[in-house]
Every structure is written in C-alpha cells, then in structure tokens.
Structure 1
Amino acid sequence: MIKSDGRTAVVTGGASGIGEAVLRRFAEAGWRTISADIDAKRGVPIVDEITRAGADSLFIRVDMAEEKEITALAERFGAVDALINSAGLLQNAVRVLDMDIAEFDRIQAVNVRGTLLAARHFGKAMCARGSGSIVNLCSLTGIRPSAQPAYAMGKASLDMLTQILAAELGPHGVRVNAVAPGYTLTPAMQARIDSGARDPKRVTDNSALGRFVAPREVADAILFLCSDMAAAITGVTLPIDCGWLATSAYKSYAAQP
C-alpha cells in the first residue's frame, strides 16, 4: 500500500508517453492522481495497474479540444494541488508551404487551446483556495526551429503562456512552470526509430550525455516543480535534454578545439 500524502494531481494526456510516466511517478510519491485522456482503451488499464499497487487513481475520458469536457473535469475536481498539462498531438516533419492547415488547426486546438482552457479553469479554483501548481509541457522545438511548424509554434506559445500565467496567478499563491523535454525515449519515439523515421545516432551524437531522456526523468522534474522544494520557482521553462541544447550549439560553432 502506498501511503497517501493527501494531495491530488490532474494529469492530462496520462494514457501514454510522458503523461503516463508523470501519472505513475506522482502515484508512487503518494499523490492521488486523475488521468484525463481521450484514449480510454489505454488509459483505464494504466490506472487499474496503479490502483492495484495501492495508490488512489482515476481515469476520466476527456477530449482536450472540447471546452465543455475540460470545464466538466475542472468542476468535478475543483482546486487540485497540481495540474500537469501533458496532453498533446505530435507532428511529422513537413514544410510550412506543404502543411495541411486542418492539421495545424487540430494541433493548436489540443496543444495550445486545450492547455490554456485547463489552466484557466483549474487556475481559477486554485486562486480561490490560495495555492496550487501548474506545469505545462513545452519542448525544445519551442526553443530551436524544427520542421514541425504547428507543433513547434504551439510549444513556443505554451512557453509564453507559462510566463503570463505565472505573473497573473502568483499573487494568489499559484505557481506556473513548464518543462521542455528533449528527445525522450517514449514508446512513440521508439516506434519512429523502429520505422526509420528517426535516426537515434543523430540524437545521441548531439547530446552532452550521449543518450535519450527517459520519460521517468521528465516526471521526476515535474514532481520537483510541484513540490515544496520548488516553492520559490515560478514562470520558468526547464529544459530536460541531456545537454542537447548546449552540445548542438557548441558543435555548430566554427571554432572547436
């Protein structure tokens, strides 16, 4: 049995990838976890497994492109202790001139608008109580250009949203931060590697630590940002990239020893 510490976290996108890792990590730490995801087929078994391990966890099917579903989620659970906005759609490489605008609209609706709405609804309840923590999932694609226009532009928007919310909600005792994972070895990434869509050597060769980020490592950082140890931290986007940003820039510069 996992000892509960009385705190509750809502994790959007908890049915896969980093969201799943976050859900499991918070449950291990004694938090009650709410997994909000559109994929019930995968999300329910994950929550069942967490529950069998002795933690308090619940799955709620939510389409992050639908405001009424986000509103219902927030009204049901109110002022939770933490909201982790992990839900999002990926995008394959494409040029702006060739991109399907319908794809752009769908990604923006889920990744940006969905995150904004969740932060608004849960943030209001947190402000009324006077405490809470929100963590958004950004990306290195919001810091460096990537041939994923809709996805990258969305993540850059979330970086700014994080700073704006930190300034607005901070006076009410609510902290808002973000993480920017680098190349993370999620099942989706592994599938891309296996299909030949990603070259793992190009990633590891440009990483200071010479490896991919593990989903658990991103979850650890998010747990820290939601903990009392990060009580003075708000408005930041923390890269978790095994040193990819530093190394890729270092190697691209003309002068190297």
Structure 2
Amino acid sequence: MINFVGAGPGAKDLITVRGLELLRTADIIIYAGSLVNPELLQEAAVGCRIYNSAYMTLDEVVKVMIDGERSGYKVVRLHTGDPSLYGAIREQMDRLEEAGIGYQVCPGVSSFCAAAAALQAEYTLPAVSQSVIITRMEGRTPVPEKEKLHLLAGHGCTMVIFLSVGMVEKVRQELLDGAYSEETPCAIVYKASWKEEQIVRGKLKELPQMALNHGIRKTALIVVGECLGDDYELSKLYDASFTTEFRKGTKV
C-alpha cells in the first residue's frame, strides 16, 4: 500500500495526526522538496530512505514506489498542502494501478486555508461571496479555454490564485477584464504558515507593485475579492429570529 500524504501548507505542526503517524512509520519517503517543509523529515524513523522528487522524473518516482512496495516496505509519497490541488497525483495513481499496487490518500491542510488564517479572513461572507474559485494563471502549464482567468473573474466572487505571483501584471489585467475593479481589495500571502510568512494587502491596481516592493516572485498566493473588505451581513445561523433544527427563533 502506497500512502499519498498531504504535508500541510508549511508549518511543521499543520500536518494531520494521521499523516504524521504515516510519516513516522514509513520505510521510504518521497517528498516534494521544492515545497514541503524539510523539518517534517525529522519525524522519519532511523534508517528510513528519503528521496527528493524535485530532482526526479515521474518514471523515477513511480519506480521507487513500486520497488519499495514489492520489497515489503511502507512507502509515503509526501506532497505539499493537500495532494488534490496541483499535486500531480493522478498520473502517479494511474501508474500504480497499472502495476497492480494499492494506494490511499491522506488529505492535508491546503495553503489556501492557511492563507485565510493568516489574513484572518472569511472567504464566504454573507451577501458578499458564497463561492471560492481556486485557480491559476496560464503559464507553461496551459489551462482549459473555459477557465481563462478573465472568464472566471467574471463571477466576482472570492478568488485564490495559485502559482501566478511571477505574472502579476497579467493577473491584474485578467482580473480587471472580469468583474473586479482597480479598487477591489487583494492580498499576497507568501509562504503561508511558514516562519518566513509575509502578508501584503492592497487594492487590485497596486498588485504588481505589492509583489515588487516585497521581492515576492514565487511560493505565494494571490487572494482577491470583497471578502477582504469591511462590508457584509450577519449570518442567519446565529440570528436570534432564525429557527434551526436545534433552536427556535424569537420574534422581533
């Protein structure tokens, strides 16, 4: 059994309890060295073989997993954040299935959650936004035609943009071509939850300068939307006049 494990957004103590146990009992760990906090590797057992996939191809990664499993070893594939987001795990799982090897996935805390925590923000404020779009700017990796950033930006909801801070000029223009204005609040969160975490807030018109002034070129999320503003409505859930399954509302 191969275990894909979400390492969390960065801070060593934001891996799940299950993920940590799998890490501690692994015989082989293949970790995404470009993004996973190396402090997590201190949890590996003595004698555990550790591979950095940043220097490996897909074929090399899969070979280590297959060879390890067939030798009776416990193998952990350690991905940053939650493996389901930009983790390139489908291609690995398909290869394992072709080889007749079982696998399971241990979810992790995504960096978009850590960014909200750092910003002390609620992405889904009543009467402001009830949807969150997680996406990226098209770069060397293309995006489907219907997912071009300006089209998604047409919804005007909260957006969390991965892997795009190196293209902030293009990001700003695509967002302005959607439903956002130059005055829309935005933020850049660099290395959310890491010791090096930086938070830069501003308005959309300032986005490129925000990145430039703080020397942020990678490993950051862009958050945009009125959820970063000050206007919203109180939720119905805790409204004294609102009846729920657990509480009867009072008449005003």
What is the TM-score with the length of structure 2 in the denominator?
Answer: 0.35
More helix per residue: 1
What is the TM-score with the length of structure 1 in the denominator?
Answer: 0.35
Q: Which structure is larger by alpha-carbon Rg, 1 or 2? A: 2
